[in-house]
Structures are given as C-alpha cells and as structure tokens.
Structure 1
Amino acid sequence: MTYTQDSPIPTMTSSEHHISLRNRKRMDVTAVKAMERFDTEEFFVRTGQGFLTIKGTDLRIVHLDVDKGMLSLEGLVESLHYNEDGGKDATKGILQKLFG
C-alpha cells in the first residue's frame, strides 16, 4: 500500500497481494491474476504470490474483476493454502478427480 502527500487515500500497485478476512465470512483478495476453478467448497485462484486454494462451506463470488486483480467472496472460510507451482491437482478436471 502506498501513501502520498497529495492524497490521504492509500493506493495499491497491481503487484501487491493482500487478503482481508472478516469474521471468516467475507474475504477480499487483491493481485488476482485468474480464477482457475471454483465451487461452493473450494476456490483455486492464481495470484501474484502463487496459487491460492480457499476451502470452506457455501462459498460464492460476490465480485470478481481480474483486470483490476480483485476478488470478493462470501461463505464460511475454513482454510487458505498457497502453492507456488499450482500443485499436482491444479490441472485435474472433475473426471480425473472422480476416477483417478
């Protein structure tokens, strides 16, 4: 976050990655490069700091703007996990997960 003398409002460069989590029910993420996949229990997001897996219950997108690098979601957030290379499961489709 950057503060300038001309403006008291902080600004973020697109490479800065921040997570804001409120009461485990509302989450904002910056520096989002792509939404790889998601469902109500898992979001897999490519960020400026690597791949981020968000697991929870009743997860849903509130706002997604990849051009601005912003994601907002709601639901019960249970875990966050970073993986630099995307992990072995990053490219697995649903059929591969079900049938090996």
Structure 2
Amino acid sequence: MQYQAENQTITIPTGDHLISLRNRKRMDLTSVKSIERFDQQEFYVKTSQGLLLIKGEELKIVHLDVDKGLLTLEGVVKGIQYDEEQNLDGARGLLHKLFG
C-alpha cells in the first residue's frame, strides 16, 4: 500500500498500522477495519492492532476507504487510546464506569 504524505510517497507493508497526526487537526490512519461508533467528540475505530478510541472536538470524516483500510479525520484531536476488542454496548460502558 502506498500513502501520500506531504510531498513524499511512503510504501507501507500490507497490514501495517500507521497513524499520522498533523498539528492535532488532521489524522490519517491505515489498516482500518471498520468504524464501530462515532460522533463529533469520539470515534471508535477497529484497526489491525485493536480498538482505537480517538477523542477530540468537532471530529469529522474527511476520507474513508474501508477496502484499502484508510481513514482521514479532521478536528481537534485531544487523545488516542487503544483498547482490547470488545462489544461497545452501553451496559459494558456503564459497568466499566461504575466498577472500572
């Protein structure tokens, strides 16, 4: 897979997971399997390396190509965190908040 980044082309071995963050305002990701849930403050993205939680403000999808595993987001990125693959139902979230 090839990835275009500021005047250069980077070849990424198939399946490798890469995050590029520019000035906390634009994020490019590779090896994206699916977007589990999202709104303007949180994105839950399933990647080849596990579930990725992206937190921020005014987050929006600029580009998505699930066949190639590419995702580009814009907004103010405040944090990223990997988590174990899990079901994202509300009950698990509530129990985790209470007993987490």
TM-score, structure 1 normalization:
0.78
Shift of 1:35: 0.7
1:45-87 deviation line (CA, Å, top 9, x unaligned) = 000000000000000000011100000000000000001223x
State, as a whole percentage, how many aligned pairs show the same letter. 55
Distance 2:56 2:12 in 1: 27
Q: Is 1:79 aligned to 2:95, yes or no?
A: no
Instruction: Please say which structure displays the higher CA radius of gyration.
Output: 1
Distance 1:19 1:70 in 2: 10
Residue 92 of structure 1 corresponds to 89
Whether the aligned pair in 2 keeps the contact of 1:14 and 1:69 (CA below 8 Å) is: no
Q: Which has the higher strand share?
A: 2
Q: Which has the higher helix share?
A: 2
Shift of 1:14: 2.9
Residue 5 of structure 2 corresponds to none
Shift of 1:10: 3.7
Residue 98 of structure 2 corresponds to none
Q: Which amino acid aligns with 2:69?
A: G
Residue 63 of structure 1 corresponds to 63
Q: Which amino acid aligns with 2:55?
A: K
Distance 1:84 1:47 in 2: 11
Distance 1:10 1:51 in 2: 24
Whether the aligned pair in 2 keeps the contact of 1:35 and 1:46 (CA below 8 Å) is: yes
Distance 1:17 1:91 in 2: 22
Residue 41 of structure 2 corresponds to 41
Shift of 1:92: 1.6
Any unmatched runs of 5+ in structure 2? Answer: 3-8, 96-100
Q: Is 1:24 aligned to 2:21, yes or no?
A: no
